Structure 1
């Protein structure tokens, strides 16, 4: 089936979903359900209100590293003949008896971005726990699930749930953010570690307990999940009050001014520029400082 047909099928399917959702919302039991579960759970009384300033730069760094991880991961998966290879310098504290593994320049860059992303993620989790902001993205009540169903129905009917991101996220957002931070990110880390040169070689017990094939079968779907999340996240940010949302995310302020948009535009330019520079011509000099480059 060609691309045009797939697009046509997707459009028709989307139209059917919207029509069914709008029809369902006319039913009395569904209306009662929506009244009982408006789409968001009540936060604990001590939950912080507002978006802290640190979340703005954390949001940028997470997006920056994630975009480069997805790009470099796709290159690793699709590049049949790398143009250059990198080998760690076997000197100083890094000196071992085993010969350092030679990896493609694309894999070296992917691993570097992984490490930076994980370090930034660790800072993010510490700040979440220290400031109480974790309560905004961790479910604290079982009614999160019927509220998520309610929010999903409202999105599907194009009559979207009430948006008050300065105070709380709707139930679908909470589940999505929780999945990204506490499920998908750790899965990406543990499967990436298994596939990386850092994994101990020649340990039969470890390889049997955690086979390479298992890591590969999990790692790629996790990348697809992150890609889908980014696309959906950006689309909803822009479609549900772009200026207010961008001010929340990048400027830590509750208004509809243009500051958040300006910061977002600048950060987008930085990410596009980084993607352009993430090619062998520009990576070789940097990688050469950390190891040996060969063809």
Structure 2
């Protein structure tokens, strides 16, 4: 008896159809946005608006020029920790059977009342990275304000908003604004950096702290004012924001003068040489290696230095 022809499972077709439809829809929307932006730029009003607000808001007269070496190092550690925080956060969120557990020994300088709680090795790694990221951020903010570099990423006038709108139109039209990040970020960059440093980062810390074991459990008024459900609802979207920010940031760095931008970010100079690219490549190697080495086999010995590690 001849066998009936086989067909692909319905769920397979459906699984391919949805992301394909989303991708096609996104391309169509982007295409329409480009056409709209180019049409707007052809009008006299928008053309005059861009001429008046080319994209770079005025900075205070004493704003420092260039990026210091300490900022290069802080930038590297920030990227390093964020990548691993996202990786460990995904593991904490979706792993149902952890490959190890960690419990603090309640010895040394920091002690708590009662029996220390056992947490998954993934959560220990996530919290450790969080602490290091916060430490790096505190050092960054202190140096930012003590050296005057804050003036480059904090709006000091209302003109930043029309300049930012001008940059959006220029980017959307694929006729991008002139970049000179060594002296002055464009207004959209400035606002993005401000939101990331002074809004998204503190919210990530506050929501993560609310969800951690360090938050006081016996504080009914505080817990009612700031319920854990609110922290959980915000924490994951904030992580998505950081991922989106990094993706867009890297894309623009590589498409608006890669060598010069990488020298700004990794070599503290405004040249067109390959030094910044070399440091960038080394940083990528270190981050990729850390990504693959962040496994229980390598995490257990490090975690055991801070507490006891068990398999269950």
TM-score by length of 1: 0.98
Residue 194 (structure 2) aligns with: 178
Which residue matches 2:6?
A: none
Shift of 1:85: 1.1
Residue aligning to 1:189: 205
| 1:28 to 2:44 alignment | yes
Structure 1 gap ranges (5+): none
Which structure would you say has the larger Rg? 2
SS at match of 1:188: helix
Deviations 1:80-136 (A, max 9, x none): 121111111122443433211111111110100110011111110111111101000
Counterpart Cα distance in 1 of 2:238 and 2:158: 26
- 1:208-287 paired onto structure 2 within 5 Å: 208-287=224-303
Is 1:52–2:68 an aligned residue pair? yes
Q: Determine if the alignment matches structure 1 residue 147 to structure 2 residue 147.
A: no
Matched, 1:39 2:55: yes
Report the 3-state secondary structure (helix = DSSP H, G, I; strand = E; otherwise coil) of the residue aligned with 2:48. helix
Q: How does 1:70-89 map to 2 (within 5 A)?
A: 70-89=86-105
Take 1:108 and 1:248, find their aligned partners in 2: how far apart are those partners? Answer: 34
SS at match of 2:42: coil
**Matched residue, 2:185:** 169
- How far apart, in 2, do the equivalents of 1:207 and 1:57 lie? 37
For 2:81 and 2:113, how far apart are their aligned partners in 1?
Answer: 33
In 2, the alpha carbon distance for the partners of 1:64 and 1:73 equals: 14
Matched positions, count: 295
Unmatched segments (≥5 aa) in structure 2? 1-16
- Distance in 2, matches of 1:237 and 1:88, equals 42
Q: Give the Cα–Cα distance (whole angstroms) in 1 for the partners of residues 112 and 261 of structure 2.
A: 50
